[in-house]
Amino acid sequence: MINRQAIKSGLDKAYRNNEAIKQLSAINTEQENQTRYIIFSDQHRGARNGADDFKRSEQAYNAALAYYNAMEYHLIALGDVEELWEETPETVLEAYDRTLSLEHDFHKNGRYHRVFGNHDEIWQDPANVKKYLQPHFGERELKVHEGFKIPVAKNGRDIGELFLVHGHQGTADSDKYAWFSKLFVRYVWQPFQRLTKYRLNTPAQDWELRQGYNEAMYEWAKNQREKVVLITGHTHKPVFESQTKEQQLLAAQQAIMHDKTLPDAEKRQKRAELAVQIERFRTVESADAEVIADMLPCYFNTGCCSFADGDVTGLEIADNQIKLIRWSGDNLNLKPEILAAASLEMVFDKIRADRQTKAQPQTQPGVAQPGGLFPQPALATG
């Protein structure tokens, strides 16, 4: 059972905690040389055994790091980088020395920013960071934060703010019952995984639970008085402009059906192409195009860097664009595949327009929208 109020309270507490939330370099959408960010989360690096969810994604992730470092991006590691519910810090850090070296390349140039998650929450203690992580990151001091805020401006005028946290804030398994979760994972689940190499970490698994997390985080962002875009990880489910990839494709398919400017033959062709893509991103929920079309683009989720097929997903923020990207586990692509893209200005324009509408006196009673923020699943899989 998801306690949405607890999640929203956890996000409130984090957002107000100026000591734990650090402000990063602002993005000016009109500036020629903007600060560029790549955000990855949920690597879950293990010990290179059967329980290690990162091992298959290692090549794609390392290739991505080499690419973004050469492009002079800032790297934000948004929590659960190490799987410390299953393994000890020494074991994990020893197992992925090459990956740490690539991350160190960002850090030595002041372009590496880390957040702790629930599976690596020991990094919220500076003593643990100094003892275990610092030796892998050279002389420059490494700090791990609960989250970050990135101001976004246009022509020197504030247009909004990006708020980045792992996303486990307020969840029962990650906070209140974390001690039990850790014991179960380390002494029951990890031995089972090592023996069977069974993995749950796929986009379609446990969607109803992840839907509850995502919906609570969307509701929190939507109800902020300020122009805030929330970016998290944790659920391992990529979300772009508050919609899953499948939801975006379904909305696009619906729009084509009602486009009177397209010839019927071209409509059929475009709908067929979208149908193929929809099946690639199919989850168990039944999306309602009318409901998701009304959602604000105030919530984004990186997905994860530990998919069972070796794929890695993340969010790029550069050149006034925010993009959901994927690096393929087959390691054939020399650059990221863009799954979705939007203008940062347009994202904040939509949020601002919604805030202005709410601020105006209501002349007519509001009409309740059908469904929910995220349409409920039509069926569940085991």
| CATH code (residue 343) | 3.60.21.10
Alpha-carbon distance 196 to 53, whole Å? 13
Q: Does the structure show a pLDDT above 90 at 176?
A: no
User: 271 and 325: one domain?
Assistant: no
User: 132 and 270: one domain?
Assistant: no
Alpha-carbon distance 94 to 314, whole Å? 25
290 lies in some domain? no
DSSP strand pairing (147-154 vs 27-28): parallel
217 lies in some domain? yes
Query: Which region among 100-109, 150-159, 366-375 has the lowest average model confidence (pLDDT)?
Result: 366-375
CA nearest neighbour of 143 among 153, 130, 132: 130
User: 352 and 274: one domain?
Assistant: no
User: 32 and 16: one domain?
Assistant: yes
pLDDT of residue 290: 42
Name the DSSP letter for residue 41: -
Q: Does the structure show a pLDDT above 60 at 198?
A: no
Where does 262-306 have alpha helices with state H?
A: 264-280, 289-293
pLDDT of residue 170: 84
The average pLDDT across 162-178 equals: 74
CA nearest neighbour of 344 among 171, 155, 154: 154
Name the DSSP letter for residue 140: S
Alpha-carbon distance 71 to 68, whole Å? 5
Instruction: Answer for the pair 181, 173: CB distance below 8 angstroms, yes or no.
Output: yes
The average pLDDT across 85-99 equals: 95
CA nearest neighbour of 57 among 308, 363, 362: 308
User: 154 and 258: one domain?
Assistant: no
Q: SS3 for 72?
A: coil
80 lies in some domain? yes
pLDDT of residue 359: 63
Query: Which region among 24-28, 54-58, 149-153, 249-253 has the lowest average model confidence (pLDDT)?
Result: 249-253
Q: Does the structure show a pLDDT above 50 at 313?
A: yes
The average pLDDT across 29-46 equals: 93
CA nearest neighbour of 115 among 96, 129, 132, 100: 129
Instruction: Answer for the pair 322, 342: CB distance below 8 angstroms, yes or no.
Output: yes
92 lies in some domain? yes
**Residue of higher predicted confidence among 150 and 371:** 150
User: 135 and 107: one domain?
Assistant: yes
Q: Does the structure show a pLDDT above 90 at 55?
A: yes
Mean pLDDT score across all residues of the chain: 81
The average pLDDT across 29-38 equals: 91
Distances (CA, A) of 374 to 6, 172, 252, 369: 19, 21, 17, 12
Instruction: Answer for the pair 315, 300: CB distance below 8 angstroms, yes or no.
Output: yes
Residue type, 13: K
| Residue numbers of the domain that contains 231 | 4-242+296-359
182 lies in some domain? yes
Q: pLDDT above 70 covers what percent of the chain? A: 75
User: 303 and 255: one domain?
Assistant: no
Q: Specify the number of domains making up the chain.
A: 2
215 lies in some domain? yes
Integer-rounded Cα Rg, in Å, for the chain is 21
Q: What is the pLDDT of residues 148-161, one digit of tens each?
A: 999 999 988 999 99
Looking at mean pLDDT, say which of 45-49, 64-68, 369-373, 375-379 comes out highest: 64-68
pLDDT of residue 299: 95
Question: Which residues, other chains included, contact 201 with Cβ-Cβ below 8 Å and sequence gap of 6+?
Answer: 44, 53, 236, 304, 306, 307, 308
Q: Does the structure show a pLDDT above 90 at 379?
A: no
Instruction: Answer for the pair 23, 148: CB distance below 8 angstroms, yes or no.
Output: yes
Q: Does the structure show a pLDDT above 60 at 82?
A: yes
User: 28 and 113: one domain?
Assistant: yes
pLDDT of residue 161: 97
Give the CA angle between residues 303, 63, 167 to the nearest 5°.
20
User: 33 and 77: one domain?
Assistant: yes
Query: Which region among 251-255, 279-283, 362-366 has the lowest average model confidence (pLDDT)?
Result: 362-366
Looking at mean pLDDT, say which of 176-190, 292-306, 357-371 comes out highest: 292-306
**Residue of higher predicted confidence among 211 and 185:** 211
User: 165 and 17: one domain?
Assistant: yes
Dig out the tokens for 277 from the structure: 């893509």
pLDDT of residue 149: 98
User: 81 and 201: one domain?
Assistant: yes
179 lies in some domain? yes
369 lies in some domain? no
Residues in the chain, total: 382
